[in-house]
Amino acid sequence: MKINVKNTSGTTIEELELRDDIFGIEPNTAVMHQALVRQLANQRLGTHKTKTRGEVSRTTAKWFRQKGTGRARHGSRKAPIFVGGGKAHGPVPRDYTQKMPRKMRRLALRSALSAKAAAEQLIVLDKLAFDQPKTVEVLQLLDNLQVSGSAVILLPERNENVEKSARNLENVKTIRAGYLNIRDLLGHNYVIMPKDAVLAIENLLG
């Protein structure tokens, strides 16, 4: 498929041929959903914990004598039925990590990129570089490209001027192409990248 390449002023200067097997496939929504759930689950720490009756700090003395009181027999105040006792069947640390085959993860990324391209929410620039970090330059760029809503900027490599210029904007995020992930693709309205980033993504997913 072909896509228009724009400069930072928003003017179309040329056309770029994108690989159909990455930017032009039929999006697989089921795989995209699974990949997103996996990424969100893998971010969970699972450190929630309550103490059982074997872990709480209470006296080990028998609460009252075994017979003659008319009450139910008890040997410990650590039982869950007492205030200050242990928690029965409470949460314990666990691992929420989900596994997913590499081919499916890459299919999810290709599906997300194809969906953005089909919706005309994929913008390719001839180059993206600033002389110094300035947030106003990113705002001007988004205005020139007529971007409304959130946007993720994909960079082919480390670019401190661009990264620092965009990090103060709530709806703009910069990531390097090597860290491309399904959450950032689906969580932003537009995907902006220079031609060098397109090549990096094709090398990654091709």
Q: Give dist(CA 35, CA 88) in Å, integer.
A: 34
114-158 pLDDT, tens digit each:
999 999 999 999 999 999 999 999 999 999 999 989 999 999 999
Per the structure, the complete domain to which residue 141 belongs is given by 2-44+98-205
My answer on whether 71 and 16 are in the same domain is no
Residue 180: CATH number of its domain: 3.40.1370.10
Helix (H) or strand (E) holding 195: helix 195-205
Q: Give dist(CA 3, CA 171) in Å, integer.
A: 24
74-130 pLDDT, tens digit each:
999 999 999 999 999 999 999 999 999 999 999 999 999 999 999 999 999 999 999
Q: Give dist(CA 23, CA 106) in Å, integer.
A: 12
Q: Which of 95, 127, 158 is the last residue of a domain?
A: 95
The residue written with tokens 């590499």 in the block is: 102
Q: How many domains does the chain have?
A: 2
Using DSSP's 3-state secondary structure scheme, residue 186 falls into: helix
Task: Provide, rounded to the nearest whole percent, the portion of the chain with pLDDT above 70.
Answer: 100
Q: Residue 125 burial (CB < 10 Å; 0-12/13-18/19+)?
A: buried
